[in-house]
Amino acid sequence: MTDRFTILDAPDEFLSAPLRLTIDLGAIADNWRDMARRSGRARASAVLKADAYGLGIEDVGQTLYRAGARDFFVAVPAEGATLRPYAPEARIFVLSGIWPGQEETFFNNDLVPVIASEEQLAFWMAVLTERGPYPCAVHVDTGFNRLGLPLAAALELTDDVSQPTSFDPVLVMSHLACGDTPTSPMNKAQLEKFLMVSAAFEGVEASLSASAGIFLGSDYHFDLTRPGIALYGGEAVNGAKNPMREVVKAEARILQIRDAKAGESVSYGAAHVFSRDSRLAVASVGYADGYLRNLSGAGIPLRQTGILGASGVIAGRPVPVLGRVTMDLTIFDVTDLPDHAVRAGDYVELFGPAMQVDDVARAAGTIGYEMLTGLGLRYERLYLSSVD
C-alpha cells in the first residue's frame, strides 16, 4: 500500500520549510464515513471546533460537506461564519450559544445557537419575541457540570406556556463526562437522565454522543452523533486500539548535527548529562509550535507517566528528545543511527504514521486533542486531496 504521506510532487516551499504539516483529507472523509456507519440509524455530524482541531476549518469543512456531512458544530460564531461558504446547505450549531451583540453574525450566516444557560435562554426568548421564529438547540446538563441548563429547568421548559410561540428548538443535546471510559457508571447515569430529557422534548431531535459515546453503542446514539477527535485520527476510547485512519504528519527540519562528549550537558539548565559520546540532531521546532515543553527529555519535574520524554522518528527509528524543549529548537539523540542515516536538512517526524500523536501526547502527560489544537502558525501545510 502506498503511504499517503510520502510526498513526491509537493511545492518547493513545502519541501524546504522548517516545519511541515501533511494533512490527509481523504483520511478525514473516510473517518467520518466510519463514524457515520458506527452511528447506526443516527446521523453523524462533524465537530470543527478550534479550526477543525488545528487542521484548517475551510479545507476540512469542505471535505466533510462533500463526503455527506450536513450538520456541523463549532465553538464560537466566528468559526461558523468562516465555515458557512464551504458548507452552504448545512446546519451549523454554535456550542457557546449567543450573547447580546452577536445576533447579526448568527442571522447573516444562518447559524444555530446552542442555548447553554438560563441567562442565554432569557436573552434568546427576548430575541424571538422581537424577531420571530428562528431555530436553536438546547443544551441540558446531565451531570458534566459544565455548560447546559439544569435538568429540572430543562424539563420545566417543555411545559412553560409563557414562552414565545416562536421558541421551537430543533435539537436537544447533552455531553458525556466519561464516554472515553466505557466501564464508568457515569455513562449509564447520564443516559438515564437524557432519556428523560428526550422524552420531554417530544418531536425534537436528540444528541448525546461525541466520538467516544458513539463506541458505547446504539443506546447512546439517539438522532444525531457528534464525532470530533475520531475524525482527525485521534484516540476516542481509553485503553482500546484506535481504529481510525491516521490524518496528520508533523515534521521539523534538522538544522545541525553535532557531537557531544561523555560528561558534557545539553540545553537549558544542563539537565541532561551525557553518559557516552553522542550525536545530536538540532531540529527547528519548539513549544512555540505546539511541541510542548513537557515533552522534554530532562529537567521537567511534572511528568508522572513513567515516560522519560518524547521521541521523534528518523529513518524509521525512534530518536529520543534530549534535555529541555525550547521555544524554537528541540534536540534529538541520533547516536544509535548509522552515520549516513541523517544529515542537516533532513526531517524528523514529530508525530504521524511512525509516531502516533496520542503516544507523543502521553509523553507530555496530556492528550492528542491538545497536541493538534496547539499547532503553531509556522507549519507549511500540504493537503492531500480527498478521494470522493
Residues of the chain with pLDDT under 70: 1-8, 299-308, 386-388
49, 86, 220, 287: the active-site residue? 49
Active site residue 53: no
CA dihedral (144, 226, 291, 77) positive or negative: negative
Cα 83 from Cα 333, distance rounded (Å): 42
pLDDT of res. 1 = 33
Domains of the chain: 39-232 (3.20.20.10), 248-384 (2.40.37.10)
Task: Kindly name the residue from 249, 268, 291, 369 that is annotated as catalytic.
Answer: 268
pLDDT in tens, 313-360: 999 999 999 999 999 999 999 999 998 999 999 999 999 999 999 999
268 catalytic, yes or no? yes
Secondary structure (3-state) at 351: strand
For the segment 43-71, what is each residue's pLDDT rounded down to a tens digit?
Answer: 999 999 999 999 999 999 999 999 999 99
Helix residue spans in the chain (DSSP H): 12-15, 25-38, 49-54, 57-67, 77-83, 103-108, 118-131, 151-157, 185-200, 211-214, 357-363, 368-373
